[in-house]
C-alpha cells in the first residue's frame, strides 16, 4: 500500500471516528469543523507512522532471513559430489 493511500485511509477513519463520537452524543456533525481537521490530522499521522514502521519491519525481516539462510548454509557445509 502506498504512503498516500495509507495516510488518506487513516484520515478518513479519523473523520468517521469523529462523526461516530458526535453521533453518540447526538450533537450537530458540522458544528466544529476544526475538530474534524484535528482528528483527521492525528489519524493521518498515525497512518504515516504505521507506513514507516511497516517499511522498517520489512527491511529487518529481510535482513534476518538472510542471516538465517547464511547460518543454514554454514551448518549444511559445502555440497558434496555424489
Contact 50, 14 (CB under 8 A): no
Whether residue 47 lies inside any domain: the answer is yes
Give domain status of residue 82, yes or no.
no
Q: Examine residue 30 and state whether it is found in any structural domain, yes or no.
A: yes
Residues spanned by the domain of 26: 3-76
CA pair distance 41, 14, nearest whole angstrom: 8
Q: Is the pLDDT confidence value at 79 over 90?
A: no
Determine the distance from the C-alpha atom of residue 27 to the mean position of all C-alpha atoms in its chain, rounded to a whole number: 31
Q: How many domains does the chain have?
A: 1
pLDDT at 1 over 70: no
DSSP 8-state assignment for residue 21: H
- What pLDDT was estimated at residue 78? 73
Model-level pTM? 0.75
User: What are the b/e assignments for 31-64, b being 16+ CB within 10 Å?
Assistant: eeeeebeebbeebbebbbeebeeeeeeeeeeeee
The string of pLDDT tens digits covering residues 17-61 is 999 999 999 999 898 899 999 999 999 999 999 999 999 999 999
Residue 81 has pLDDT above 80, yes or no: no
Amino acid at each position: 500500500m502506498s504512503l498516500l493511500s495509507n495516510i488518506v485511509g487513516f484520515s478518513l477513519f479519523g473523520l468517521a471516528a469523529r462523526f461516530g463520537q458526535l453521533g453518540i452524543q447526538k450533537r450537530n456533525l458540522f458544528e466544529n469543523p476544526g475538530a474534524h481537521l484535528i482528528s483527521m490530522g492525528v489519524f493521518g499521522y498515525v497512518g504515516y507512522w504505521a507506513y514507516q514502521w511497516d517499511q522498517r519491519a520489512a527491511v529487518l525481516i529481510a535482513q534476518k532471513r538472510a542471516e538465517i539462510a547464511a547460518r543454514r548454509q554454514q551448518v549444511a557445509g559445502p555440497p558434496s559430489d555424489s
